[in-house]
Structure 1
Amino acid sequence: MGLRAAALACLLAGPLGAEPIRIATWDPGLTRQGPGLLLRDIRARDPQVLAAAQVIVAARPDVILLTGIDWDADGRALAAFSALMADAGLDFPHRFSARPNSGLPTGLDLDGDGRLAEADDAQGWGQFTGQNGMAVLSRLPLGPVTDYSDRLWRDLPGNLMPAVGPEVAQVQRLSSTAHWDLPVMTARGPLRLLAWAATPPVFDGPEDRNGRRNHDEAAFWLHNLPHAPFALIGNVNLDPTDGEGRPEALQRLLDHATDPMPRGAWQPPQTGANATHAADPALDTGDFDEAGPGDLRVDYILPARALGIAGSGVLSPPPDNPLAEAVARASDHRLVWVDLVMPDPPPPLAGAALR
């Protein structure tokens, strides 16, 4: 058999073998009431911090987006938290974080209460710059990140921004936390993580400012989807079936992506607000107050349709599982993971010389 025939036989035999890549997203509750306090607690091996590290080690992701971790300019808190997991056998040599919009001052009285420099007057709610930001930890190399977080809300085509004065419109960013296009460099080429953490669609008045912003934070990606393998990932802060919010943009994103419907192994008794919910409780990722919204699905990984899905899940072990205590102690969110298979590289061009 000649070289050309042998190559053709290999192509026709089926896809090349590929190991799944486990990506995850989680709000680990690593936010504090002032700058520097998270680093203090990591160094002191605070029980909540240790619980968060234990959960991630148990999930063993190749890449994880953290949607609730305080940012500092030198990245010391993220490095210290990563070191805790390295000590437990899970090394993330590649990290990314950037200053989020949460807590970033605008210099304006956005809530109209006559006072400046409050949490409600920041680009995204926050008591200090960097509170409750985002970060990525990865076992795989990361490529150059495109950070869209400075885009103005008014510039999104078809935006639902409520009427505001020109002074506000000229400074108000769309992202309450951040929007990142972050390449993960796999053996089969880059996987683009389209990451964001949206404002909850509540805590406002009849103008529905937060509900409109939550919608538009998802709608942003409808105008910025890459022509490459991607996964939409993050804390969307929206349940498409239960709770408040405008799910239209999230539903339109599913025209371009697949919903693996990750499920948890255990759900609490469906009492209180949960008893009124219509969605499958196994899909819930937020363990919220029964007297309030109840448990909701708010954290998502939505891979592009070209990607294979080898498995998925929500890390919610039953109470008798040794991990259950750490899961409950760390956060009111649950870690979501999906095992992705990158598509085969394109075949060589017809007629190309084989050597």
Structure 2
Amino acid sequence: MKKMGRFGFYGALLFILGLVLASSIGSAHAQLKMGFYSKSCPKAEKIVQDYVNKHIPNVPSLAATFIRMHFHDCFVRGCDASILLNTTSGEQTERQSPPNLSLRGFDFIDRVKSLVEAACPGVVSCADVLTLVTRDSIVATGGPSWKVPTGRRDGLISRSSEALNNLPPPFANINTLRTMFASQGLDLTDLVLLSGAHTIGVAHCSSFTNRLYNFTGRGDEDPALDRNYAANLKARKCRSISDTTTKVEMDPGSRNTFDLGYYNLLLKKRGLFESDAALTSNSASLREVNKIVKGSVKDYFARFGKSMEKMGRIGVKTGSVGEIRKQCGLVNS
């Protein structure tokens, strides 16, 4: 047999290590499955759904914050509920990071978790609770549904700096967005589909006032923003570049309705964030936007759901990795 050279040996070793890594990733995904708690906590998903159906109709705006919370969780260390951890000592957690300071509803997640804990102590993870609450709250407000395979475990680490570095900012251009999504295993189609969640909820003026008052540092407007819309925002909503408190509907007139309004606004140059406008700055993403607008709501819901399920699998911890937190804001002692 011919002797294997030095580089041949290391090449073979790297190939084997690659197979091991791929196998471990595959097995982690395999451990997420529909009805994961069917034997260990058979009423878990119904407990979540019942609580959501009882309370979300009274505060439908929470649906928007939960889908954002889920997104922000998955993009930092994977979908492991690290965003729910409180700062107890040392470095601040993701929850205290600037992109997450406007999030709310943590107490809602805590109440759901306590109900599940009462039924099945130490069985259902906070990561699964957050994922289920997100899906169920969107459905409760008339939005799309999607499959939520369960079996996630909770992370032990949460760092504010990582949230700042890994979450796409509202001023991101299309190249930055594509790169950040690709790093999470999501493609351009996922980017466009998931951005549709901006059809519900609100944004603070501080996230986009530079587009109104000082886009290039010369006191100018962003030319990618409709002039009439910009004038209206200045006159009625964000009256100064320093406004940090006023909120603006992402999809004016239907902020609690999950529909195609967001994409129609994009084509009219009325997306609030630079990252919204970016979706029409690239021929491939613009084609996807037009495809959605020309299609049916039913088709969009189905495609959005598949991307949400895909996002919900990012970096999941399963098996013996991580833990099942007793309280979502604290790691177990």
TM-score (norm 1): 0.21
Instruction: Specify which structure has the higher proportion of strand.
Output: 1
Which structure carries more relative contact order (alpha carbon 8 Å, separation 6+)? 2
TM-score (norm 2): 0.22
